[in-house]
Every structure is written in C-alpha cells, then in structure tokens.
Structure 1
C-alpha cells in the first residue's frame, strides 16, 4: 500500500451570500496556502506542494466538501510532478505506484471551479489517479486536467511506466459518468494510427450541471470552432485535435490533444470562461501565480 504523505481536507460554508473556508486540515507537504475573494461571494483557494513532487510509492489524499449555495474556485501553484519509481538491488521496483485520491462533495446549489495545473510524469514514473465526485441537486462543477508525456525539454517522451486514471461522478446518488484510462507506453503503440499519432499532450474540461444540455453543448462547440480557426491557428499555434461529448446526463466533456502544453491550457481556459459565463453569469478573471 502506498504511504499517505500528504493530505488536505477542507469544507466551505455560505455566510450571508459570501463563501467562507470552514474546517480544514492539511499535512506536509500539502498546504492550503492562501484564500482570496472574488465577486459574487466566490472564494478562491491556492493549494501548495512544498516538496519537489510525488515521490516513489507516496500517496496524496484530497477531500473537499462544499456546503449549500457555496461558490469556490480551487487551483494549485505549480505542476503535479510524479517522480520515478525506485529500483531495488535486483533491478526491480521496490515501491508500488504513486497515487492521488480526490473526493469532492457538492451540496445543493453549490458552484465549484477546480482547475489544477498540469500533471507531469517523469521517466520511469508510475501513477494511479482516482477522483470521486458526488453532487446534490442544482450543484455545478467545472473541473479540468492536463497530462504531459514527460519533461520534453530533457527528451522524455512517453518514458513513464504507467498512468492510470479513474474518474466517477454521482448526481443525487446516481452514477452519471465513469471513465477508466490506463496508459503503458512500452506496451502500447501510442504514436501510430488509431493511437495518439503525432500528439503528445491531452487535456479535458468537465462541466457537470443540470444546465449542461445539448443547447449548451452546441453553443460551446460553435464557440470553440471559432476560437481555434480565428485565434489560435491564425496566431501561429499548432494544430489541435478536440471534441465535445455529453455524459449520460448533466455533463459535457471538452477533450483536446496537441503538442504544446500552453496551447492546451489556453484552449481549455477559453472553454472554461465560456462555460462560466453561461452557467454562472460570471465575468472572466485571471488567477495570477
């Protein structure tokens, strides 16, 4: 079993239309570094990792509970970096894979934006990620992820051992989305036809809300088609491969692949701001790090 080396648990409450940070706990190297206020009573949270990253065999646990009618924005200060697995004297691996377990509970009427920095998988890294989300009636969640194939400037390209990702969402105790992903570069022909071909990075923006219907999906698709054609490509950006799909109910996924992480981040940021305006009537803002 991986040893739990970092834990964050926090709850949010609504006080006269303003969201406040309630009970919270964190253990080294994870830390709730700063809270700051946005308009409309929304509370922003920075999470910090004081270590160089997730070491071999370690595990992070993060649990967030959002009370009724709370409004929160959560991000972290830097990439989540997964270090190589350690070898024993016989040349095998002495630890199991590193892990990150996230649990989010959204009470009735809550609105949450959870936009962490990308995940970086170092050479010989093995990482299991599990995210479980439980939502109550009239709650809304915007959550993103971006995965890098390694430290590309060092020549690392799909040299990690394994990446597993399990993502489940329940709405009023009904399973509305479940995805399981397993990537083993040494066992899979990722950069061939039917795989990732020439793409190296991928990202996803998930939008879960009762208002995330087909009308919203079509409007978001039209907007992103215009962004890619008129803005990103015309400004000299690389080609992006993206698509929009709907979950069983109450959910939209924006998935994108590319070769430069900042281009995926910009694309997903545009999608987030569009969704924020439609679902929250919120003005776009910049989070400085």
Structure 2
C-alpha cells in the first residue's frame, strides 16, 4: 500500500496553524495540546493499521512556513511485520526561516524477518531548529524474537542552504553485523538516536549536553553518550534494556529543548 501524509504549518497573528492537510489510509492526523497557550502547533499522527506490512510505502511530507512551530507526535509503538520483500518510508521536511520542528515518535518493534528502510531529508532555514529521534527495539522479546529481523536502516540528512550539515545512518542486519559484539549493543536490547540541530546563534550546545547528561544520571537501565557538532547541535545515542524508559527520557529532553526555544523567541 502506498500511503501519503502531507501537512503544512502556517503562521498568522503570532500563532501556528494547520494551513493544509492531506492524508490517505491508514493515516489520520488530530490536534493535541489544545490547552497550551504558547501559539505553537501540536499534531498527532494516528494509523488504522496494526503496523507496517510487506510492500508498504509511507510518504510523509511536512512543510513549515516562516515563523511556524510544529511538534508531531505518534500514537503508539510502530510494528514492522514479517516480510518476504521489504517496506519503506520517506520523510521530507521543508523548514523556512524562523521555524521549529520536533518529532519524537514511539519506539519501532521489528518482527522476525522484517526488512525496512526509512529515509529522512530535512531542509532547515535560518534562525530555526529541529528535534528528531528514533528508538529501535530488539523485537517481540517475550515471543523469543530478539533481533530476528532481516534488516533495518534509517538514513537521515539535514541540509541548510543546500549544504549537507548532518548525516546519520543506522543499519541493523544481524546476519552480517553481530548485534551483541563489542562496539554494538553488547548486552543491551534497545538503541536510540536523538538529534538536535539549530541555525540560531545563541545556542550553547555544551551547556545543553551537560544538562542532558545530568538528567540521565538517575536512569540506571540506560546509558547515553552525546557528540556535539561543529555547528549548533548534537547527536545523542542511547542504549537500554527497555523502550519505555528511553522513550520517556527522550520526551524529557524534547520538553527541555522545546521550552528553551520558546523562551528565546
């Protein structure tokens, strides 16, 4: 099934709003955060499908007009079912100047023999920032499916003024890359990536990284590492024994960055 989602966030009278929205099955988009008075837009992507099936292709198009702020949320864990071939997803985000976009979805659960490739291309304008993450679980652990997927790949690229600023490529293929080896997940079963990138000048990436490290000190079931970029941003890697603890931590980091961005405006 070829499924499409297109959302354009507009900005008018100091408020972000849904300027245009188009979805096809199984997508549905609903407004959340109606009680917030920060003038920003909060939307949840929902699906009538139990998960991504063999042959599915998801096409997600997101655009933010100048001044707009959009936070996308997911409904639940994303399941990747058993596949003979593969499934794929494309995310394209176009951010004009003075925009903010955040997307911290629930973890992905790859079932046995699943084969999935996700690509994301983000074009960010001036005085803008983006928060985006992914969490990959080992699969249905209680069904004995611990990293029995065929292949998983997530390729993400962030551009500014048509110049590639960030490229992140996560590949899990257990038959070629021993997942439990040194330098990979070792004894852990969940892996997460959290990326923050900003084209604003007043971002102190070192202070942000230190705050996040301090936030993680009470997380005994999870370990994190942060690499700051040459520009304003960082990549956070996390490994854990469960998806919920990592997802909740990512939400805390998102809230810190999202609130900080609001204060700067």
Q: Same fold (TM over 0.5)?
A: yes
Equivalent of residue 116 in structure 1, options 94, 105, 108? 105
* Residues 34, 276 of structure 1: alpha-carbon distance in 2 compared, 3 angstrom cutoff: closer
What are the within-5 Å matches in structure 2 for residues 89-238 of structure 1? 93=84, 96-211=85-200, 216-229=204-217, 231-233=218-220, 238=221
- Tell me the TM-score normalized by structure 1: 0.85
Native 8 Å contact 1:176 1:248 kept in 2: no
* Residues 267, 212 of structure 1: alpha-carbon distance in 2 compared, 3 angstrom cutoff: farther
Give the CA deviation at 1:36: 4.4
Q: Match for residue 90 of structure 1?
A: none
Q: Match for residue 70 of structure 1?
A: 68
Native 8 Å contact 1:176 1:247 kept in 2: no
SS at match of 2:38: helix
Give the CA deviation at 1:273: 2.3
Give the CA deviation at 1:211: 4.0
SS at match of 1:41: coil
Native 8 Å contact 2:154 2:169 kept in 1: yes
Give the CA deviation at 1:102: 0.4
Equivalent of residue 77 in structure 2, options 56, 79, 85? 79
CA distance in 1, matches of 2:108, 2:184: 20
Give the CA deviation at 1:251: 2.4
The Cα RMSD (Å) is 1.8
Question: Do structure 1's residue 261 and structure 2's residue 249 form an aligned pair?
Answer: no
* Residues 223, 246 of structure 1: alpha-carbon distance in 2 compared, 3 angstrom cutoff: closer
Q: Match for residue 224 of structure 2?
A: 242
- Tell me the TM-score normalized by structure 2: 0.93
Larger radius of gyration: 1
* Residues 126, 212 of structure 1: alpha-carbon distance in 2 compared, 3 angstrom cutoff: farther
CA distance in 1, matches of 2:95, 2:65: 7
Give the CA deviation at 1:204: 1.8
CA distance in 1, matches of 2:229, 2:254: 17
SS at match of 1:265: helix
CA distance in 2, matches of 1:61, 1:223: 35
Where in structure 2 are there 5+ consecutive unaligned residues?
A: none
What is the count of residue pairs matched by the alignment?
263
Equivalent of residue 22 in structure 1, options 1, 7, 19? 19
Native 8 Å contact 1:169 1:176 kept in 2: yes
Give the CA deviation at 1:260: 1.0
SS at match of 1:145: strand
Give the CA deviation at 1:227: 2.5
CA distance in 2, matches of 1:254, 1:281: 23
CA distance in 1, matches of 2:173, 2:33: 40
Q: Match for residue 8 of structure 1?
A: 5
CA distance in 2, matches of 1:14, 1:7: 23
Native 8 Å contact 1:105 1:133 kept in 2: yes
Q: Which moved more, 1:218-227 or 1:166-175?
A: 218-227
* Residues 73, 242 of structure 1: alpha-carbon distance in 2 compared, 3 angstrom cutoff: same
